[in-house]
Structures are given as C-alpha cells and as structure tokens.
Amino acid sequence: MKDNKSASLFQKEQVMESLKQSFVKLNPRVMIKNPIMFTVEVVTVVMLIVCFLSLGTSEYGAFGYNLLVFIILFVTLLFANFAEAIAEARGKAQADSLRKTREETPAKVLVDGKIHTVSSSRLKKGDYFICEAGDTIPADGEIVEGLASIDESAITGESAPVIREAGGDKSSVTGGTKVLSDKIKVLVTQQPGESFLDKMIALVEGATRQKTPNEIALTILLAGFTLVFVIVCVTLIPMADYTNIDHPGTYISIAAIISLFVCLIPTTIGGLLSAIGIAGMDRALRANVITKSGKAVETAGDIDTLLLDKTGTITIGNRKATKFYAAPGVDERDFIEACLLSSISDETPEGKSIVELGRESGMRMRNLNTTGARMIKFTAETKCSGVDLADGTQIRKGAFDAIRKMVEGAGNEFPKEVEEIISSISSNGGTPLVVCVNKKVTGVIELQDIIKPGIQERFERLRKMGVKTVMVTGDNPLTAKYIAEKAGVDDFIAEAKPEDKMEYIKKEQQAGKLVAMMGDGTNDAPALAQANVGVAMNSGTQAAKEAGNMVDLDNDPTKLIEIVEIGKQLLMTRGTLTTFSIANDVAKYFAIIPALFMVAIPQLAPLNIMGLHSPETAILSAIIFNAVIIPILIPLALRGVRYKPIGASALLRRNLLIYGLGGVIAPFIGIKLIDMFVSLFF
C-alpha cells in the first residue's frame, strides 16, 4: 500500500472509469444529494427546452447561441461529477488491492482436538484455527497459544516481520497476513464479512461514507447562497422589463438569466465538495491510517489534547535489562550467573533480555549446570520467579518489596547499598529487579523502557500545532516523570487505571476541548471509545481496534502528526475553496451585469471594468470560466491545501491573500482572455 503514496493523481484507468461515472452521476436521485449542482442540472434541462423552442421562433433567442450555453452548462455538470468520481476511483483502486489480499484461504480449524481444513469464508466468531510457518492467516483473531513472526506487508506495506504472541497487547492478528515462523493457535473474533479487511474495503470504496457535520453545515450555507441568487435573478427579470419601457433593448433572454444564475451560485465549491471529503479519507489511507468515518479525519484537524499510552506507544514496548549491579561482597560473575539461572523459566521479553545482557557480559546459558533444577514460575501473588537447583540452592528474582519481605522473613538483612541502587534506578525511570540466593540479596538488575527514536522532535511539532501531549502509564510517579521528560511530553498521568484515562478525557471534553487517544491494549479500549479521535495500533488487541475510530497500520505513536495535518488540510481545503468560489462570484458579477444593462443604461459603463466585447460574449466567457475552473482545481481538492504549523491567524491571512484575493483576480484575467477568443466568432 505504500506504493500508492507516490502514485499519480490521474491514472489512465481511473480517468476512464471517472469519465463514465460523470454521466452515470447525472441521475437526479444522485445529484439531489448536492443541492448546488442539482440546481445547475435543473437549469440545464430548462436550457435544453429553450433550445428546442428557439428552433421554431426567435422569441427565445438564437438557436446556435442557446445550444452553446446548454453545452457549456452540461459540461459544467460533467466536470463536477468527474471531480467526485476521480476521488472515488482512487479509493476503489485501493479497495481492489486490498481485495486481492482477502483471497479465499484454507483454514485449519480445530474441532474436538482434530484439525479440519475448511474455506476461510466458513469461519465464524468463536472458532479456533492453527497456523504454521508459510500459512496465510484466514481470519481476524487473537492468539491464544504460541508466538510467531508474521509478515503484515499485505496490510501495512512494511516488509519487516513482526512478532505476535499470546497474552499481552500484541496478540491480535489480521486475516490476509502470513506466518513466517513457529506455530500459533488463534481464536476467531469476527463474523464473516465483518473482518478488519472487509471494513477497510467498504470504507475506501466510499460505500459507507457519511457526510460530516462540517460538510453538512457547509452544504446548508451554500444552499442558502443558491437560494439568495435564485431570488436575485428572478427579480432581475421584472426590473429589466420595467427598464425596457424607457430604454428599449433591455430585454433579458432566458439564456442570459440562467447563465447569470449559474455563474453567481457557488458552483466551484459545490462541484468539489464531495471530492474534498473523499480525498481526506484517501489521504489518511495513504498515510497508512484506516479511518472508520470521514468525521474522524475532520475532527482530527481540531484536536487540542493527545493522550498516549506509554508502553508500546512512546516506548518500544518491552523493558530491557540494561545493567547488573552486584551487592557488596558478591562476585559480579557469580551474580550474573544467578541472574541467568533465575531467568531460565522466564519466557517474558524482560527475562529474555536478561539472558541477552548476560551473553554480552560473556556468560552463556549452555555453560550453566541446570541438571535436576526445578523452575519456579512467576505469579501475581509471589511477584517473583526463579529456580531451585539440584544441590538445594534457591535463586529468586522479583520486585523489591517481594524480595525484601522474603529476605527479612528469613532473618537476613537487606543491604542499605542495594536500597540506594534501587532508589537510583527508579529515579532514572528504570525498573529494579532484585535477585537473592538462599534468601540473601546478591544484587539488582536494571530494566529500562526504550523510548522510540526521534519521538521528542515529533512531540515538539505537535506542540507547534497547538496540541498538548499527555503520557498515560501504570508506572510509579518517579518513573513516569523520568520517561515524560525524556520523551518530551507536556504532562503525564502515573499509576493510571482505565477509569483514570476516562476521567481525564471527560474533564478535557467538559472544558470544550477535543481529545485524541492513542493506545494498543484492551485496557485502552474504554478511553479510545470515549475520545473524539481514538487511534488504535494495528499491532494491538482486537478490543482496542474495535473501540477506536482509526487504526494506525504502522503502529507509530506520533502518527497523529500526520492525522492532525490531514484533518487540518481537509478543513483548510474546504474553507479556502469556498473563499475562492465566493470571491469568483464578485468578478463574474462585474462581467455579466454591466453587459446585460449597459446598452440601455449607459450610466453602468464604469462597472464595465473588463471591457468585454458584447453582452453575448460576456455571458459565454463567464460560464466557460465557471466550467473550466472546476477541473483546474481538482488536483488541489485531491492533494489538499498544504498545512504549516504557523498559527491560526497567520494561516488565515495567508489563505485569504492567496485564495480570497486570487479568487477575485483570476476570473477577471480568465474571463477577459476567454472573451478575446470567443469574440473572434461573434
């Protein structure tokens, strides 16, 4: 999917399909969804009737001229439909590539302990299936047994494999991805046709796209403008008839009044409005973010506060052992050996990192005597794990409080020096694991959260955008404070429970702020659902992905920067093109009104700024410009107005200057040039 980022705006296949759809969309039942362009369609039909009437009598004007006006109006409709169709075609192209991913896949279903191969389409929620190296995962689910490296490039575009394992926040797998190693047992979490991939396909096709509140409000505003100009144009006819009594020749033809009406209503933005909305969702998809609604993209442009889960979002996910601290009087090699022996049965990433650190220190597991050893698994009650060796030696590794209780319970002293080491590790954002041999402290292992690279710079950019970043973690306040400072977030919530996140979001929302939440765990699901924009990591649990209204395929915690920029682009594009469209009307007013009345009312001569050739060429030039400006602006609607974090007032000044002033000047130049060409034939 990453390949699509560099794809051309107009690909041949998409253009051909869009041209076809431009005619299909002329159906009034489709057109009525866009009141402005529906009004244009109505007056185009009226103009067609006038063409037929003018064949028999000169009362309705010259047939050739009326036909020309009709053709230009018809082309205007086609251009507007083309803008929407090209935006939809880009989405459909992406849907087709996703559909290839969701091919019928054989599934090894477990029934009463036996494996049966069935089609992936027959899998239902609650089924269990087995996947081994080389198998394509047939459906969305949660790993309940085992771990495996998985190729998710078909979904994310990233070629690097990822590790998914049972338990924790990295247990979710997506249908269409491929298992590269090991064996996993998966529980199906979705009914057929409701998979993550199915939802993606429906969304990018635009089938389920609903108009956003902002888009609806703008449509109402534009419809109001249109109604005003209906009244303006209707009142011009009796005014012209009245003027005609004293100034013969002030008659306004039906072609003139229809042209004036079409030029004055905001057809430019009316024709591009749908394309802008569809393109916003398309841009999000190109940033590898699946949005469940256009509203989510739009809301992202107005975000005030961002909550980020620490583990897996700000940090790489799993803590790593970074240093061994031997207690006073304990040989360092003996201590490292005890650390490795205590980690034999520890299958957690932390346990594996202890073994890796030991290997870097020159100690290897295979050199240790573990014959007859009894493994002690970690439990929530004991808060420690370890091993009982054949010679009766007991080695334990665990939390400070648990080991201290064990040591002091046996009548042994907990060294002050070790307490100081523990305090130092905690104040530096680390997690201390204390090791004891035969209930005597031998030292401390330091575990550190690894902060994702480049994250400070990204948070600084969010700050410039006016977004406050808040880290949420279950860690103690000391550790949380250290990580928050190191990552560069504005605030943090330590020892946070799921309800604490909810309370914080509600408090911010009550203050009138819009909140975004990023997370990957089931414990993040309530907060993701409560937030205005909930971005779930694709690597996270199914519950998190269901609760959010966006899914980040890259699992990038700072992806909100792109999401916010896309949201702001969407709002700015809509605003700037509306400004441009209305500014256009000013110029077109100066083109047509003087041309209509100047012969009969010479006093209007100062308004004839453009000095157009004749009333007929003036009208034709204005409606031709009105038509061609739509396709000219399609690339801008699809790409969006470029966003820079320079503040709202500076952005407003910049856009008013470019699109407000430009919207007034461009038609003056454009209409004059078209008039010079058209006048050659009239």
- Any idea which residues carry the catalytic annotation? 309
* β-bridge mates for residue 677, sequence order: none
Read off the DSSP letter of residue 643: P
Structure tokens at 226: 């249109």
Q: How far apart are CA 133 and CA 148, in angstroms?
A: 8
3-state secondary structure of 138: coil
Closest CA to 38 of 22, 21, 51, 26: 26
φ/ψ of residue 56, rounded to 5: -95, -20
For residues 579 and 656, the answer to whether their CB atoms sit within 8 Å is: yes
Q: How far apart are CA 47 and CA 39, in angstroms?
A: 12
Q: Are strands 305-309 and 468-472 parallel, antiparallel or unpaired?
A: parallel
Q: How far apart are CA 51 and CA 36, in angstroms?
A: 23
Contacts 24+ apart (CB under 8 A), 252-257: 252/596, 253/60, 253/61, 254/46, 254/47, 254/50, 254/60, 254/61, 255/47, 255/50, 255/61, 255/65, 255/66, 255/69, 255/619, 256/592, 256/596, 256/615, 256/619, 257/233
Q: How far apart are CA 261 and CA 553, in angstroms?
A: 47
For residues 521 and 169, the answer to whether their CB atoms sit within 8 Å is: yes
Q: Specify the residue for token string 């004293």.
A: 246
